Amino acid sequence: MTGPGRRSSTFTRLLRHGFTDPSAAERLLESAELSPVRNDPVLLEALGRTADPDLALHGLVRLLEAQPGATARRALLDTVTAAKPLRDRLLGVLGASAALADHLARHPKDWEALVTYEPRDLHPGVEEFERGLAAATDPVSLRVAYRRCLLAIAARDVCGTTDVAQAAAELADLATATLRAALGLACAAAPEDAALCRLAVIAMGKCGGHELNYVSDVDVIFVGEAADGADEGKALRAATKLASHMMRICSESTVEGSIWPVDANLRPEGRNGPLVRTLSSHLAYYQRWAKTWEFQALLKARPVAGDLALGEQYVAAVEPLVWQAAERENFVADVQKMRRRVVENIPAAEVERELKLGPGGLRDVEFAVQLLQLVHGRADASLRSGTTLDALQALAAGGYVGRADAVQLDEAYRFLRFMEHRIQLYRLRRTHLVPEGEADQRRLGRSLGLRADPVGELNREWKRHAAVVRRLHEKLFYRPLLDAVAQLPSGEARLSSEAARERMVALGYADPAAALRHLEALASGVTRKAAIQRTLLPVLLGWFADSADPDAGLLNFRKVSDALGKTPWYLRLLRDEGAAAENLARVLSAGRLAPDLLMRAPEAVALLGDGDGDGGGLVPRGRQQLEQEILATVGRAGNGQQAVTAARGVRRRELFRTAAADIVSSYGTETQPAEADQGALVDRVGSAVSDLTAATLAGTLRAVVRDGWGDTLPTRFAVIGMGRFGGHELGYGSDADVVFVHEPQDGVDEREAADAAGRVVSEMRRLLQIPSADPPLLIDADLRPEGKSGPLVRTLKSYEAYYRRWSLVWESQALLRAEPVAGDEELGRRFVELVDPLRYPAGGLGEDAVREIRRLKARMESERLPRGADPKLHTKLGPGGLSDVEWTVQLLQLRHGAEVPGLRTTRTRTALAAAREAGLLSEEDAATLDEAWVLATRVRNAVMLVRGRAGDTFPSDPREVAAVGRYLGYGPGHVGDMLDDYRRTARRARGVVEALFYGG
């Protein structure tokens, strides 16, 4: 068939095989050189499998044209069509590298190197490459021989015979052989210099790490010594000449171009230092002057050429210095700063295309791996590999990196290195920028096996892998645990039994023998769990010691680890996620309450992480969010008791979250100092516990009503918070002070309604106090009308009648904190409207009422203070304590609330601030009362956190009172200062109370 139809068919066929210029391809296929095989479908299909079929076809024609005669052309064509492995290799190279196609056009017999290497091509080593370079007698012939060897590496690479790591290793081996050959040429040119010295060439960087690129500077360091009997000065000058000559042979451009630059700037003092130093000179520099990055660079040092025995001496001498570098001051911060500086120096126009140095690039992987190696490799020799992927595998095997993270990082690194190799292979130019042109991206995508939509798939895969690298780099490279491990002396990074005992005595553990048993139970064995524990424990021991009871911290850690050790996320969380490990250490050693809450449901340890998941982290959740979760939990339960059990489980978890956040904010961590605003801490705890209590009551009410009456209770029902509950000031051990109000539904008999309301109250109280693993929530209704003698629940009309006829002044005072917390919102609002005139009386309080309040306060001080208690240290009833401040503020509210809107609040500190703004007390007096109230509240919270039970005065046990002091910011040995400061603050507050409350 001839004519337009045949051309159309060929055109379509070429498009289908990936040609972008079918017209040009058709002309080449019709050329005389390809006439014997122009109709061979095998050739066309083989071309279609290459990265760039147009480039491959053009290169093949050029190679045929360069053959010295028809016989040679026929031999090449026969080999290409008959030998599939050779065909794929040759066409694969021609379709991926214009530079190697140029080389073959200049040296048309070099295609035979693909056959020569075939029998031994799976794992060629340095010796095989040395044989390939052996015939080189000058820089030009060395260059040609180098390209011939490179051709074989590229062929194996593009055909998938080797993976990217093997190809990089082969390139490093070829560089090693080339350096040896170049040094041999230099020595042959100056035999008298060679006789005077011993010269070792140390490969650094990617060459040293067996992970070289196609085109890269080859970083080296030179070590020289005098030969036997030679003068050292003359020997160093001779070695410098040889080293310089070797560098010129590799770097200088010839008619064949250059091989690659040899860069010796990683040597001591960089380009300003001598090119060659003796071993002792190197060591003197590293011991006195070297910067952090220089030790990081030495991690990849490897002797490759010259006097290999001297090279091995050099590596053996500097290795201990490398693995001590992490102990340098600010080591981790310096490495992190250096990485940031690299990114900052990338030109803005290139940062998105920078495959090596940009965010999510190869350097992110390498820096993260090297930092982990340098920190943990001090105690674990298995991590001391100069090859990134080998080191990453060792880090995963040792438990320093999560296995899933390591797999993702390995996959991403390989993909990015594939891209880097293919980009450089095209022109054999040193670049790390992803090309912008569509044709270049298409060839790059096809070379990576992306054929359906090469450009689109390439960019999607590249961005996906870059995102993975960046995320894991941030996670690993800035891991807080790293800095803590780096600060440990090298002998303590992995503790022997004796070293552990000595360290625990030094850190203040009261029972080192018991602590040692805990350590052995946690870290002995060969499991992954034990490996990770061995990494964590040296740091955790120090964090436990930064508390009043390190023994309890370690014991609690063992309990949590025993409960969660087989849970895959637990140790991974402590190792990887933010400050989780340090947060846990603070929480477990700060007292009993938080550990007790955690032991009942150890999975709550997940809250100590960064909080990326739903409900994670230590930020307290709001009332609406809590109520939604509890109501949903109640809705899924089978009956009322199950529902309230589930609600109490949520309450326990959230109490732990609040307590943990309080401890961490009060103690501070390595990365987050203790919070300075003590008032904000108190408000946050009070609001969080009060919101949680309200949400729990709402869920319990829903469960009780659903269990007893279905969807409709015969009476409207509301819970009114009183006391600290209504004031959003609950502590960890506070009861819930409430009153209950109901109102019969339309058409419902009052007796039936009252009976239903009474049953609701009784059942709520019962379910919230059933013994279980969760702390009970005690409901205290003693602030209701008539106190314990009155009915538990009344109708709104009953409250109205009582308050109109019988209400006493103390009840008006108690109502200052009344606020609806659960149940019927409209009924709760009407209750507040009912009591507002009582708590904010028009015209204020009469003098009789004021005297009555003062009398009640004085009576309470004299009668309620526990026998034997030190009044000056009693946070509730003592002078300057909570009662003093609250009654003073409440008296101001009762007297002036009608005229000062800001005083109409249930919150003590808010009312105090409003009184100050209204001029009812001075700035100084308000600040004194606020400071005393905040301090007393913090002491009560601290006592509950430390002892696990409520208390209004400082503990008597020395460890417990020290733990309270630590929570309040007092270091070891300053308990006396804490007590003196409390007395002083309370005494000043009492002076203000005497003047404002008692009229003194």
Query: How far, in Å, CA of 895 to CA of 839, rounded?
Result: 9
In whole angstroms, give the CA distance from residue 440 to residue 431.
14
Ramachandran area for residue 488 (φ above 0: left; ψ -120 to 50: alpha; else beta): beta
pLDDT category at 616 given cuts 50, 70, 90 is: low
pLDDT confidence band for 613 (50 / 70 / 90): very low
Tokens of 829: 């609002």
Q: Which of 121-125, 260-264, 482-486 has the highest mean pLDDT?
A: 260-264
The per-residue pLDDT for range 371-383, each reduced to its tens digit, is 889 888 888 899 9
Token output for 545: 């010691």
pLDDT level of residue 205 (50, 70, 90 thresholds): very high
More reliable by pLDDT, 52 or 861: 52
Structure token pair of residue 908: 């003590």
Pick from 5-19, 420-434, 508-522, 644-658: least confident = 5-19
**At 834, which amino acid appears?**
L
- % the chain with pLDDT above 90: 65
Specify the higher pLDDT residue, 424 or 619: 424
Each residue's pLDDT tens digit, 887-925 = 999 999 999 999 999 999 999 999 999 999 999 999 999
776 versus 37: the higher-pLDDT residue is 776
- Is residue 615 very low, low, confident or very high in pLDDT (cuts 50, 70, 90)? very low
Between 309 and 367, name the one with better pLDDT. 309
Confidence of residue 490 (pLDDT cuts 50, 70, 90): low
Closest CA to 211 of 80, 362, 107: 362
Residue 809 has pLDDT above 60, yes or no: yes
pLDDT tens digits along 210-245: 999 999 999 999 999 999 989 999 999 999 999 999
- Write phi, then psi, for 737 (nearest 5 degrees): -75, 125
HSE (CB half, 13 Å, CA atoms) of 403?
Answer: 8
Q: What is residue 720's predicted lDDT score, i.e. its pLDDT?
A: 98
Q: Work out the average pLDDT over 500-521.
A: 78
Residue 199 burial (CB count, 10 A): 30
pLDDT band (50, 70, 90) for residue 485 = low
Q: Give the pLDDT confidence score for residue 299 in this predicted structure.
A: 95
pLDDT grade for 119, boundaries at 50, 70 and 90: very low
How far is Cα 588 from Cα 557, in angstroms, rounded to an integer?
A: 7
Q: What is the pLDDT of residues 756-792, one digit of tens each?
A: 999 999 999 999 999 988 899 999 999 999 888 899 9
- Predicted confidence (pLDDT) at residue 313 exceeds the cutoff of 90: yes
Length of the chain: 1000
> Amino acid identity of 691?
D
pLDDT digits (tens, 9 = 90+) for 567-584: 878 888 888 776 888 889
Least confident of 154-168, 348-362, 664-678, 812-826: 664-678
Measured distance CA(842)–CA(898) in Å, rounded: 6
Quick: pLDDT tens for 680-692: 999 999 999 999 9
Name which residue leads in pLDDT, 473 or 632. Answer: 632
Tell which wins on pLDDT, 540 or 875. Answer: 875
Other C-beta atoms lying within 10 Å of the C-beta of residue 32: 11
pLDDT of amino acid 122? 61
**The two three-digit tokens of residue 353, written as one number:** 């295309």
Relative to beta strand 302-306, strand 197-203 is: antiparallel
The dihedral through the CA atoms of 286, 291, 292, 296 has a sign that is: negative
Tokens encoding 2: 């001839």
DSSP conformational letter for 921: S
Give the per-residue pLDDT at 256: 77
- 187 CB neighbour count, 10 Å cutoff: 17
3-state secondary structure of 489: coil
Report whether pLDDT(58) > 80: yes
**What residue has token string 């060792």?**
394
DSSP 434: P
Tell me the per-residue pLDDT of 357-371, one tens digit each, with 9 for 90 and over.
999 999 999 988 998
Q: Which token pair is 249?
A: 């042979």
In angstroms and rounded to an integer, the radius of gyration of the C-alpha atoms of the chain is 40
779-780 and 736-744 as β-strands: parallel, antiparallel, unpaired? parallel
Question: Cβ(963)–Cβ(946) under 8 Å?
Answer: yes
CA 931 to chain CA mean position, Å: 37
Q: Per residue in 359-385, is it b (16+ CB within 10 Å) or e — as a string? A: bbbbbbbbbbbbbbbbbbbbbbeebbb
User: pLDDT at residue 695 above 60?
Assistant: yes
Over range 838-867, report the average pLDDT. Answer: 89
Centre a 10 Å sphere on the Cβ of residue 329 and count the other Cβ atoms it contains: 9
Write the DSSP assignment of 719-732 as a string of letters.
Answer: EEE-HHHHTT---T
DSSP 840-861: S-TT---HHHHHHHHHHHHHHH
Tell me which range, 530-539, 821-830, 857-866, is most confidently predicted by mean pLDDT: 821-830
**538 close to 492: Cβ distance less than 8 angstroms:** yes
pLDDT at residue 4, rounded to an integer: 52
How many whole angstroms from its chain centre is CA 480?
8
User: Cα dist. 11→24, 30, 46, 442, 612 in Å?
Assistant: 10, 13, 17, 20, 55
Q: What is the DSSP code (8-state) at residue 784? A: S
Question: What does the alpha-carbon distance between residue 530 and residue 8 come to, in Å, rounded to a whole number?
Answer: 69
Q: What is the pLDDT of residue 425?
A: 96
Task: Choose between 117 and 42: higher pLDDT.
Answer: 42
What distance in Å separates the CA atoms of residue 828 and residue 330, rounded to the nearest whole number?
59
CB 594 within 8 Å of CB 659: yes
For 393, 452, 479, 618, 983, the CA distances from 397, given in Å and listed in that order, are 6, 37, 19, 31, 56
Taking the C-alpha atoms of residue 909 and residue 904, their distance in angstroms, rounded to an integer, is: 12
Whether the predicted model's global pTM rises above the 0.75 cut: no
CA distances (Å), origin 940, targets 733, 817, 883, 948, 963 = 9, 20, 13, 11, 13
Residues 6+ apart with CB under 8 A from 81: 37, 40, 42, 43, 87
Q: Where are the beta strands (DSSP E) in 133-217?
A: 197-203
| CA neighbours closer than 13 Å in the CB half-sphere of residue 784 | 22
What letter would DSSP give residue 979? H
- In order, the DSSP letters of 227-277 are PTT--HHHHHHHHHHHHHHHHHHHHS-BTTB-S--EE-TTSTTGGGS-SEE
* pLDDT the model gives residue 240: 97
Which has the closest alpha carbon to 47: 14, 12, 82, 24?
14
DSSP assignment, residue 594? H
pLDDT-based confidence at residue 7 (cuts at 50, 70, 90)? low
- Distance between CA atoms of residues 668 and 583, nearest Å: 9
pLDDT score at 839: 94
- The CA distance from 383 to 374, in Å, is 9
Print the SS3 string covering 379-427.
CCHHHCCCCHHHHHHHHHHCCCCCHHHHHHHHHHHHHHHHHHHHHHHHH
pLDDT band at 563 (very low <50, low <70, confident <90, very high): confident
pLDDT-derived band at 495, boundaries 50, 70, 90: low
Distances in Å between the Cα of 821 and the Cα atoms of 644, 687, 694, 697, 742 are 17, 13, 5, 8, 14
Q: Can you tell me the mean pLDDT for 153-180?
A: 95
**Structure-block tokens of residue 342:** 């690299």
Quote the pLDDT of residue 671. 61
Tokens of 99: 């530079």
Tell me how far the alpha carbon of residue 2 is from its chain's centroid: 68
- Give the residue-averaged pLDDT of 838-843: 93
Distances (CA, A) of 484 to 579, 581, 886, 961: 11, 11, 44, 28
Can you give the pLDDT at residue 476? Answer: 76
Question: HSE-up of 964 (CA within 13 Å, CB side)?
Answer: 29
Average pLDDT taken over every residue of the chain: 90
The pLDDT of residue 618: 87
Contact 725, 737 (CB under 8 A): yes
User: Is pLDDT above 70 for 701?
Assistant: yes
Query: If pLDDT is split at 50, 70 and 90, which confidence band does 50 have?
Result: very high
Show the DSSP H helices in 637-677 as ranges: 640-667
